[in-house]
Amino acid sequence: MATEISQRAASDSDTVAPLVEARDVSVVYGSEGNAVRALSGFTGELRAGEIVGLVGPNGSGKTTLVRAITGGVPLVSGQLRVAGDDVSALSARELALRVAVVPQTPMLPEAFRALDCVLMGRTPHLSLLQSEGETDVEIARQAMIATDVWSFADRMIGELSGGERQRVVIARALAQQSPILLLDEPTAHLDIGHQSDVLEMARTLREREGKAVLAIVHDLTIAAQYCDRLIMLDRGEIVREGHPSHVIQEDVLARVYGTQVTVFAHPKTGLPVVAPSLEDR
């Protein structure tokens, strides 16, 4: 079913409906009295074959949006459709066939092998009594080669470093073979080499499989280099969205982040690079 969705998405990405479609979505945490509006009237979409970066300061609603797309938080208003269907109408399994998530700091069972963890990505494809077959192992193997974790497939999670675990979780999301990939700070625990690996991989997936990728990225320079489009959130609302050079501008960043930065063009790509202003020096 997932392949069917992604094939459909890949073949005519311009004509079909967006894979994720949010209309006026609001999410409120807490009860009345001390309610916090985490997302306020968010409208946006994610199409097959694009990488959208979600940027903004802490507490701006980025993770809430990812949770809303995975059915993890109820909406107080608005409509959220994933591959054509309303999120609230989809079962956990149907949703997992459409959306794979790489959470920010995932808890992993330490005594399981890395390969076992990646094979868990096959869960939505298996019925209750089914075990992973050769095809599933092969899919997991490809995912682990892609994220550079195959060489320690046999090692226990407890023996891996933070960055290695992060890549195991990314491999698990790849093994899920869903048309939509949500990455919550996918590069947080990674060294610069693996950071660019992960984002290059996201681009490869987009090109070869027409996946739609939504990534929360804190590093604005990285976000600008790898994403087709950025959405900047602040206090649950969209401040600016569009091409990275339209979003990453000194006055916008000064307003949203409350700090003075210098933005200049990357010598090769021309895309914005953000550096501290260091005006005092």
Partner 1 sequence: MRVARWQRLLGGRGDEPVREAATVRPALWPRATVGLAALFGIAMLALALGSADVPLDATVRILASHLPWVEWDTDLPASWKSIIWQVRLPRVLLAGVVGGTLAMCGATYQGVFRNPLAEPYLIGVATGAALGSTIVLVSDVPSSWHGFSVLPLAAFAGAISSVLVVYAVARVGNTVPTTTLILAGVAVASLTTAMTSYLMLQNTTNTIAVFAVILGGFNTATWAKMVWALPYVIPATLVILAHGRVLNVLNLDEIQARALGVDVDRTKLLLLGVSSLAAAAAVSVSGTIGFVGLIVPHAIRLVWGPDNRHLLPLSIILGAAFLIGADLLARTLDQPAEIPVGIITAVCGVPFFLFLLRRAKVAYY
Binding residues for partner 1, rule: CB under 8 A, are 70-72, 91-97, 99-101, 103, 106-112, 115-116, 120-121, 123-124, 126, 128-129, 131, 137, 141-142, 145-146, 148, 150-154, 156-159, 176, 193, 196-197, 200-201, 204-205, 208
Radius of gyration of the chain (CA): 19
Q: How many residues does the chain have?
A: 281
Sign of CA dihedral 102, 242, 97, 22: positive
In three state form, how does the secondary structure of the chain look? Answer: CHHHHHHHHHHCCCCCCCCEEEEEEEEEECCCCCCEEEEEEEEEEECCCCEEEEECCCCCCHHHHHHHHCCCCCCCEEEEEECCEEHHHCCHHHHHHHEEEECCCCCCCCCCEHHHHHHHHHHHHCCCCCCCCHHHHHHHHHHHHHCCCHHHCCCEHHHCCHHHHHHHHHHHHHHCCCCEEEEECCCCCCCHHHHHHHHHHHHHHHHHHCCEEEEECCCHHHHHHHCCEEEEEECCEEEEEECHHHHCCHHHHHHHHCCCEEEEECCCCCCEEEEECCCCC
Residue placing its CB nearer to partner 1 in the complex, 15 or 34:
34
Shortest separation between residue 215's beta carbon and partner 1, angstroms: 16
Shortest separation between residue 154's beta carbon and partner 1, angstroms: 5
Residue placing its CB nearer to partner 1 in the complex, 54 or 247:
54
Shortest separation between residue 278's beta carbon and partner 1, angstroms: 31
Shortest separation between residue 90's beta carbon and partner 1, angstroms: 10
Residue placing its CB nearer to partner 1 in the complex, 51 or 115:
115
Residue placing its CB nearer to partner 1 in the complex, 2 or 256:
2
Shortest separation between residue 3's beta carbon and partner 1, angstroms: 13
Residue placing its CB nearer to partner 1 in the complex, 89 or 145:
145
Shortest separation between residue 165's beta carbon and partner 1, angstroms: 12
Shortest separation between residue 50's beta carbon and partner 1, angstroms: 19
Shortest separation between residue 247's beta carbon and partner 1, angstroms: 26
Residue placing its CB nearer to partner 1 in the complex, 2 or 52:
2
CA–CA distance from 189 to each of 20, 163, 216 (Å)? Answer: 27, 5, 14
Residue placing its CB nearer to partner 1 in the complex, 132 or 234:
132
Residues 209, 94: Cα–Cα separation, whole Å: 20
Residue placing its CB nearer to partner 1 in the complex, 93 or 266:
93
